[in-house]
Amino acid sequence: MKVRLRDQGSQGDEHRLEFLPDTSIPLFENFVATQPSEVLVSVFRQILEIVLDKQLKDYHFKVQNGWRGSTWKVVLLHGNPSRDGPIVCSQCISCDLTCPIKLGITGHGQEGLCSADTLLTDADGIHYHPDLRCWLDAQGRDKLIVTPGNHLASLSEMDDDLMANFWKGAIELIKSLHFPTFKSMILNHGAYQNHSHLHLKINVNEKFAKMSQHWPGPLQSKLARLKDFAAHELSGNS
C-alpha cells in the first residue's frame, strides 16, 4: 500500500505535512483491525522514510481519523522554534516505576505519587503485549498513554513486530476502556517531546469523564487520586 505526501505549507510558526495511505478505510482502528501487520508497518515505514529524507528530527506526529468521506491520515508539524524539549530528569518516568510523577513531569520534586500509580495493569482489567506499557496520563488529563517497554526515543527505532504491536495495542486499550473511537494519537519527536522516552498520547473524546464512570471501582479510584494529585501538585504544567 502506497502513501501519498501532501505538503500543506507553512501555518504560523510550523510547516504542515500530511501523509495519506492509499485506502478507502476512514477510521484508523478499522484499518488496524482489517489489514495484515505487514501492511500496517509498511505504511509507517514509508512515512518514516520521507521524514528521514527531509532530515526532520523535531516534529509533532499525529494519527487522525477521517471524516466527511475522507480517510485516516498522519499529520506532521515541524519548525516551531519555541520547542526545546525534552526535560532533563534523573529518572525516566516511563522506565522506572518508582519515579515520582512530579520529578518526571517537571524535572524536580520527590513527594507524592509515583509512576506506578499511573500504570494500567491486569488488576485494572487491562491486558496488553509484554513489550508495551499502558498508562493513565500522569498529569491527570483526559488522555491515555502507550509506551514501548524499552527506552526508545523515536518510532523509527522500533522493529516491525514492536511497531505492529504498538499500534494494535493502542486500539485494544481504547476498546478495553469502552471508548468507541478516538480524536487523535500523538507521537512527539525530538524537541517537541516533553520526555525522552517515546510515548503515544491518545486523545479519546469529550466523553472521557462519562465513560470512565463505567470503569471498575479500583480503576475509577486510581483515576480520581491521580486527578486530585495533578490538580494540587502539578497545576501549571498541563
- Segment 39-74, tens digit of pLDDT: 999 999 999 999 999 999 999 999 999 988 899 999
* C-alpha cell at position 183: 480524536
CA–CA separation, 106 vs 195, rounded Å?
A: 10
Q: What is the mean pLDDT of the chain?
A: 94
* Per-residue pLDDT reduced to its tens digit, 84-106: 888 888 899 999 999 999 999 98
Q: Closest Cα partner for 15 from 43, 54, 44, 41?
A: 54
pLDDT score of 236 more than 70: no
What are the backbone dihedrals phi and psi of residue 130, each rounded to the nearest 5 degrees, phi first?
A: -65, -15
- This prediction has a pTM of 0.94
Give strand pairing partners of 7.
Answer: 17
Name the 3-class secondary structure at 110.
coil
CA–CA separation, 88 vs 54, rounded Å?
A: 27
CA–CA separation, 204 vs 27, rounded Å?
A: 14
pLDDT score recorded for residue 207: 83
Core vs surface per residue 156-193: b (16+ CB within 10 A) or e: bebeeebbbbbbbbbbbbbeebebeebebbbbbbbbbb
